[in-house]
């Protein structure tokens, strides 16, 4: 097993873009090494024909072993069932993957088995490997509360192409309709409630329509998603912009926290900012999330220097 350290995470609080790459396509793998995506997902499942599954696994292992330090996070979408467990063991043995995505995830024995494989690999080699739930079925949505509590789970992603098929819905012909908002909400809510890393918005199959992709990404961000899965490099650029932190927004958040800390020091509670908007605990919490600033210590909290 290779003992090289896993490269550091991107500098952003959460990956803004998660690019799917079919692991059996050498040309796409070469491009993945130069991607601007914050995370790469090597796909061994739906994007790979059954006859190419073994070759895809071998290519994914080779890609992981040749991974350069300082690049994007590296995740792998494994197959389901026994093949998926073999996929997981092969990739985990490299010691060079950040996480695995479980397809068509739901609570139950299969999740427990995959999580146990991740846990065994971490115990054997050290380091940290995360597990992500790719929710693509009615059963996955309905059991999300149980699955998200699993200690190995770190992320949730909504797979709407398969979910629509499972629910006998029409494909996403409207390029951003809100018919699955009822499933999107629980993904975000369980991510927050269980302290998971991020909620990943679903892919869009309309790779040639950047305008629609931007519009739907803005809407998904407004719903609480923190990044988006992509299937084309053009989508990565848009996702990085939409789910990144705008410099003006960041500066405003710092200014709001400065103002809040002054009011707090003076003993004030809620107050209005310079634009007349009410500032309260929820507003401050969002500003802290954006800036990463910790709660300022009060005079009583500061160490005695006398």
Question: What are the beta bridge partners of residue 271?
Answer: 279
Of 191, 237, 184, 203, nearest in space to 43 by CA: 203
Pairing between strand 278-279 and 271-272?
antiparallel
Mean pLDDT of 3-23: 73
Residue 116 in tokens = 């146990």
Q: Is residue 4 within 8 Å of residue 39, measured between CB atoms?
A: no
Burial letters for 4-28: b for 16+ Cβ neighbours within 10 Å, e otherwise? Answer: eebbeebeebbbbbbbbbbbbbeeb
Grouping H, G, I as helix, E, B as strand and the rest as coil, residue 154 is: strand
Residue with tokens 């890393």: 197
When pLDDT is cut at 50, 70 and 90, the band that residue 35 belongs to is very high
- Cβ atoms of 160 and 172 within 8 Å: the answer is yes
Cβ atoms within 10 Å of 56's Cβ, excluding its own: 23
pLDDT band at 259 (very low <50, low <70, confident <90, very high): confident
The Cα 29–Cα 35 span in angstroms is 10
Band of the pLDDT at 175, cuts 50, 70, 90? low
pLDDT digits (tens, 9 = 90+) for 273-302: 767 677 777 677 766 766 667 765 443 443
Q: CA angle, corner 171, sides to 165 and 174, nearest 5?
A: 150
What is the arithmetic mean of pLDDT over 246-267?
71
Compute the average pLDDT of residues 163-169: 95
| CA 165 from centroid of its chain's CA atoms | 23
Cite the DSSP H helix spans in the chain: 26-32, 53-65, 81-92, 109-125, 138-142, 144-147, 160-166, 181-193, 210-222, 233-243, 247-265, 281-291
Q: What pLDDT was estimated at residue 263? A: 72
**In whole angstroms, what is the distance from residue 161 CA to residue 203 CA?**
8
Instruction: Give the mean pLDDT of 165-189.
Output: 89
CA 95 to chain centre: 20
What is the C-alpha to C-alpha distance for residues 195 and 193, in angstroms, rounded to an integer? Answer: 6
Show the tokens assigned to 133. 């739930």
pLDDT at 269: 67
pLDDT of residue 30: 93
Q: What DSSP line would sit under 198-213, residue for residue?
A: EEEEPP-S-TT-HHHH
| Closest of 44, 11, 15 to residue 155, by C-alpha | 15
DSSP state of 50: G
78 DSSP 8-state letter: P
Do residues 290 and 249 touch, judged by C-beta distance below 8 A?
Answer: yes
Render pLDDT for 70-127 as a digit per residue (tens, 0 to 9): 899 999 999 999 999 999 999 999 999 999 999 999 999 999 999 999 999 888 777 7
**Tokens linked to 85:** 């467990």
* CA proximity to 117, closest of 141, 81, 144: 81
How many whole angstroms separate alpha carbon 174 and alpha carbon 128?
A: 40
Per-residue confidence (pLDDT) for residue 273, from 0 to 100: 72
The percentage of the chain sitting over the pLDDT mark of 70, rounded to a whole number, equals 83
CA atoms of 202 and 295, how far apart (whole Å):
33
Q: Which two tokens stand for residue 19?
A: 């690019």
């Amino acid at each position: 097993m290779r003992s090289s350290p896993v490269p550091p995470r991107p500098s952003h609080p959460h990956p803004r873009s998660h690019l799917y790459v079919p692991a059996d396509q050498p040309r796409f793998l070469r491009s993945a090494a130069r991607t601007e995506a914050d995370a790469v997902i090597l796909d061994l499942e739906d994007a790979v024909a059954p006859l190419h599954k073994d070759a895809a696994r071998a290519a994914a292992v080779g890609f992981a072993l040749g991974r350069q330090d300082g690049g994007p996070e590296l995740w792998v979408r494994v197959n389901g069932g026994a093949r998926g467990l073999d996929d997981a063991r092969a990739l985990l043995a490299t010691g060079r993957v950040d996480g695995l995505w479980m397809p068509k995830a739901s609570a139950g024995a299969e999740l427990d088995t995959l999580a146990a494989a991740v846990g065994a690999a971490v115990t054997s080699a050290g380091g940290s490997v995360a597990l992500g739930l790719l929710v693509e079925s009615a059963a996955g949505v309905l059991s999300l509360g149980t699955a998200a509590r699993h200690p190995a789970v770190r992320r949730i992603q909504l797979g709407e192409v398969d979910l629509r098929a499972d629910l006998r819905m029409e494909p996403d012909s409207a390029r951003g309709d809100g018919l699955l908002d009822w499933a999107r909400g629980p993904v975000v809510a369980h991510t927050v409630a269980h302290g998971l890393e991020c909620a990943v918005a679903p892919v869009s199959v309309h790779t040639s329509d950047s305008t629609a992709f931007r519009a739907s990404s803005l809407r998904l961000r407004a719903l609480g998603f923190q990044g988006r899965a992509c299937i084309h490099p053009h989508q990565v650029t848009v996702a990085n912009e939409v789910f990144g932190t705008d410099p003006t927004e960041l500066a405003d958040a710092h200014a709001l926290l400065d103002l809040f800390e002054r009011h707090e020091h003076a003993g004030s509670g809620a107050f209005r900012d310079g634009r007349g908007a009410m500032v309260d605990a929820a507003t401050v919490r969002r500003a802290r999330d954006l800036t990463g600033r910790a709660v300022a210590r009060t005079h009583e909290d500061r160490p005695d220097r006398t």
